[in-house]
Amino acid sequence: MDALAVRLAEIEDQEKDTETKAEGKKILVVDDSPTVRKLISGKLEKCGHEPICAVDGMDALAKINEEVPDLILLDITMPRMDGYQVCKLIRSNEATKDVPVVMISGKDGFFDKVRGRMAGTSNYITKPFGPETLMKTVNEYIQ
């Protein structure tokens, strides 16, 4: 092997070391942006998780009714039902009340974060965020 191929293999091994492989954890990704859903679900798949995507709050509740995920990544601003409302419904359901819910939002104000906590969120990530922030937060709740 030439030096470049060896270096590429080393980089690939380092990336594998930093990405915790999960035992097929089901993670619900709820965002009305197709781009955000694709980016998050792609990273989750790469790390060994099984993403389930929902386009809005109503879709999320339907998917949760079909199968309870191990973690929920939930946008706040969505059509039909916002993330705060979805989170309150998740917390009021006996089957889902203990599922971690991480809010993902472009809103970074103190009030927004407090409102998220009052709705029952486990954590709050502000957009834009990098893959390291995403996976650190995900791993915090599924280990």
Q: Is the peptide bond before 34 cis (omega within 30 degrees of 0)?
A: no
**What CATH number is associated with residue 51?**
3.40.50.2300
Which range marks the domain in which residue 68 is found?
Answer: 24-142
Q: Tell me, yes or no, whether 76 lies in a domain.
A: yes
Q: Tell me, yes or no, whether 102 lies in a domain.
A: yes
pLDDT digits (tens, 9 = 90+) for 27-70: 999 999 999 999 999 999 999 999 999 999 999 999 999 999 99
> For the chain, what is the domain count?
1
Q: Tell me, yes or no, whether 69 lies in a domain.
A: yes
* pLDDT at 112 (0 to 100): 83
Q: Tell me, yes or no, whether 40 lies in a domain.
A: yes
Lowest mean per-residue pLDDT among 2-6, 57-61, 119-123? 2-6
Q: Tell me, yes or no, whether 1 lies in a domain.
A: no
Alpha helix (H) ranges present in the chain?
3-18, 34-46, 57-66, 83-92, 110-119, 131-142
* pLDDT at 52 (0 to 100): 98
Q: Tell me, yes or no, whether 119 lies in a domain.
A: yes
Q: Tell me, yes or no, whether 128 lies in a domain.
A: yes
Q: What is the pTM of this model?
A: 0.82
